Amino acid sequence: MKFEAVTIKDIAKALGLSTSTVSRALRDSYEISPETKKLVIEYAEKINYHPNPIALSLKERRSRSIGVIVCEIANSFFSQVINGIESIAYNNGYNVIIGQSRESFDREMLNLQYMTSRSVDGLIISISTETHDLSYFKELNQKGFPIVFFDRIVDEIPTHKVIVDNYKGAYDAVTYLAKSGYRKIAALANSASLSITRERLAGYRAALADNSLEEDETMIHYCEHGGMIAQEVEDAMKELLKSKQQPDAIFASADKLTTGCLRYLKTHGIRVPDSMGVIGFSNTDLTELLDPPLSVIRQPAFEMGEIATSLLLQLIESKRPVKDFETKVLTTELLIRGSTKEQQQFENIKV
């Protein structure tokens, strides 16, 4: 079932004009007499004419739309970023099309190819955990196709990027745990290949060192699928808990990991924050409603989306190839709630 749209040709025929004249009349060209314009515009209105954007895209080689690829839209952080992206995009007359990789490289590439070949004018992306082969990105980038990376960025590709200070976010959170008296702080990390994992773990390690806590590799567990697979988080938690270094707190480095961690502790009857402190990166707006309310490192997601889009539009609308790129680094917010607590007694025992 196809359905027929009305074209400029229909108008031309009906009015005894040429398509050029109709086109010009609709675009309000000075070359067309006011009467003809009026005639054309009114008739177009009447038969409900809308220009065919596909034909326009073909002709103008641009579509006034931008693509966004994230691993999962159900994730609060990403949906907030998308809202930021849409707000700027719509204000500038751009449409936004959204794709999910679900942490799969293949699906990421599928989306990417679909979008680029459909002439999105640019792309905003946070790469999947599986993405190691960057050749397609490099190729696009070298051809001058506008890309902005956010959150999970890649160093090798010269373009604009938007992130938060992951190092500091993690450092502050882990330092807070240490100052509160937690002594064995484990880390539940995302795939080791991601920029955010590296940065956050670096902050974690630095905080341990600065608080004279020993670092222990058995206290760090990675989730290769970023918690997309529930089992994976469970396994990691199980490993963590049966390590000889019984942790008394967990630092989780992603939204899904933080909630997954809490879920595990809850179902296994481990009391938070008494037996185990929990702090993690999360942008869920349900954190206050959780039991216990989660202490989180929160990212300015909406703002990240806005900034990424502004940068992308700069690239798209620039006449000359852009050569100097910037990496915007925003600051995180540490929100202390009920999943961590000050353990005076620990400090006392120590001292």
What is the phi/psi pair of residue 123, to 5°? -140, 140
9, 27, 46, 118: which one contacts a copy of itself (CB under 8 A)? 118
Instruction: Give Cα 189 distance to the centre of its chain.
Output: 18
Q: Rule CB under 8 A: say whether 114 interacts with a copy of itself.
A: yes
CB count within 10 Å of CB 142 equals 10
Q: Residues 1, 3, 9, 211: which binds DNA (CB under 7 A)?
A: 9
Q: Which of helix, strand or coil describes residue 31?
A: coil
Helix (H) / strand (E) element for 297: namely strand 295-298
Nearest one of 2, 35, 1, 40 to 19, comparing CA atoms: 40
Considering CB distances under 5 to 8 angstroms, the limit depending on partner class, which of a copy of itself, DNA, none binds residue 34?
A: DNA
**Contact between residue 218 and residue 187 where contact means Cβ atoms under 8 Å apart:** no
* Binding of a copy of itself by 33 (CB under 8 A): no
Distance in angstroms (rounded) separating the CA atoms of residues 293 and 173? 16
Closer to DNA by CB, 57 or 314: give it. Answer: 57
Closer by beta carbon to a copy of itself, 38 or else 118: 118
Compute the least distance from the CB of residue 213 to a copy of itself, in Å: 28
126 burial type by CB count under 10 A (0-12 exposed, 13-18 middle, 19+ buried):
buried
Say whether residue 24 binds DNA (CB under 7 A).
yes
Give the residue, chosen from 9, 18, 29, 144, that forms a contact with a copy of itself under the rule CB under 8 A: 144
Contacts of 186 (CB under 8 A, 6+ apart): 219, 220, 221, 240, 243, 247, 249, 250, 251
Residue 287 carries which DSSP code?
Answer: G
Matching residue, tokens 């469970």: 234
Task: Check residue 321 for interaction with a copy of itself (CB under 8 A).
Answer: yes
Member of 74, 192, 209, 349 binding a copy of itself (CB under 8 A) = 74
Smallest separation (angstroms) from DNA to the CB of 3: 11
**For the window 38-57, what string marks contact with DNA as x by the rule CB under 7 A?**
-----------xxxx--xx-
Q: Does 266 bind a copy of itself (CB under 8 A)?
A: yes
Binding interface with a copy of itself (CB under 8 A): 1-5, 48, 50-55, 57-58, 61-63, 65, 72-74, 76, 79-80, 82-83, 86, 90, 95-100, 102, 107, 110-111, 113-114, 117-119, 139-140, 143-146, 259, 262-263, 266, 284, 286, 288-293, 315-316, 318-319, 321-322
